């Protein structure tokens, strides 16, 4: 399942509700609290506090972690792609960075399509706003938009959350 929505749309809460009755949930967190960013640390803490005590949290950006089986809640593909852009040198405009990013995105989509796990992934829908002013913003929007399309194309269900109201697209 893929749950899409804008920032602060309620997509994470909806994704959590989709697996709330399961006891084998691995919460794959793709972002960690940054000590130098108090506001981000508060957001991460709020997400942690909302999780049931029985869920296992795994903080990673390695796609093979989707292959563990059971139930996996990925929150979020958005921060995962941002991390991949950092790890592959896209933000620093390193030679070959876009090719490395494409390979890492391919690995993510491959893991998504091959896993026996019940996966619910959360991602921001970035195609509804204005064209970003900066090159890096456009690269991020384009990379995430492509990954979202590829994940949605193979997902059993796709949800779009607007103002806390989930709408099933597929």
Is the whole-model pTM more than 0.85?
yes
Q: Is residue 32's pLDDT more than 70?
A: no
Residue 165 main-chain phi, psi, to 5 deg: -105, 110
Q: What is the pLDDT of residues 53-87, one digit of tens each?
A: 889 988 888 878 777 889 999 999 999 999 999 99
Residue of 5, 47, 79, 117 marked catalytic: 47
Cα–Cα distance for residue pair 123/121, rounded to 1 Å: 7
Q: Is 118 a catalytic residue?
A: no
User: Are the beta carbons of 14 and 62 closer than 8 angstroms?
Assistant: no
Cα–Cα distance for residue pair 143/41, rounded to 1 Å: 25
Alpha-helical (H) ranges within the chain are 11-18, 38-50, 77-87, 97-114, 135-154
């Amino acid at each position: 399942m893929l749950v899409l929505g804008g920032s602060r749309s309620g997509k994470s809460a909806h994704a959590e509700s989709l697996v709330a009755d399961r006891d084998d949930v691995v919460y794959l967190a793709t972002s960690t609290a940054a000590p130098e960013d108090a506001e981000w640390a508060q957001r991460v803490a709020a997400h942690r506090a909302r999780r049931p005590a029985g869920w296992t949290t795994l903080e990673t950006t390695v796609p093979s972690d989707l292959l563990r089986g059971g139930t996996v809640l990925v929150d979020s593909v958005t921060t995962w792609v941002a991390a991949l852009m950092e790890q592959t040198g896209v933000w620093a405009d390193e030679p070959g960075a876009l090719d490395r990013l494409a390979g890492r995105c391919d690995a993510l989509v491959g893991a998504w399509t091959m896993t026996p796990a019940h996966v619910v992934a959360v991602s921001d829908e970035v195609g509804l706003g204005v064209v970003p002013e900066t090159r890096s913003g456009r690269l991020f929007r384009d990379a995430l938009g492509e990954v979202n399309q590829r994940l949605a194309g193979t997902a059993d269900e796709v949800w779009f959350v607007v103002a806390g109201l989930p709408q099933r697209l597929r």
